[in-house]
Amino acid sequence: MNIALIGYGRMGHEIEELAVKRGHTIVCKISSQNLQEFNPRVLQWADIAIEFSTPESAFINISQCLEAGLPVISGTTGWLNRMDEINQLCRDKNGAFLYASNFS
């Protein structure tokens, strides 16, 4: 599976290590240091996005993935006041989204 990691902090590093050990490929690692690389052109190479960013950026990160037709798994906490908007976007785009807190 080709994975886009959105948020490359502690959990992003852990996910990368586990994914690679299991034979998956990390096609991009997006952090605050390389936000310019976070675009549909890069996301087209991924089968799924795993999003562990910040409460301030989670909504836009998830939205961009759904807009690009990419299924998203998110473990970012603190942004749930916008969950209804994400759920609606997911329905509108016939997308796939999974949220769970406390992955660690």
Confidence of residue 104 (pLDDT cuts 50, 70, 90): low
pLDDT reported for residue 101: 81
> Which SS3 state, helix, strand or coil, does residue 79 take?
coil
Answer positive or negative: Cα dihedral of 96, 68, 86, 7: positive
Beta strand 97-99 pairing with 72-74: parallel
| pLDDT exceeds cutoff 70 at 73 | yes
* pLDDT score of 80: 95
The average confidence (pLDDT) of the chain is 94
Q: With 80 as the cut, is the pLDDT of residue 72 above it?
A: yes
The CA distance from 84 to 73, in Å, is: 16
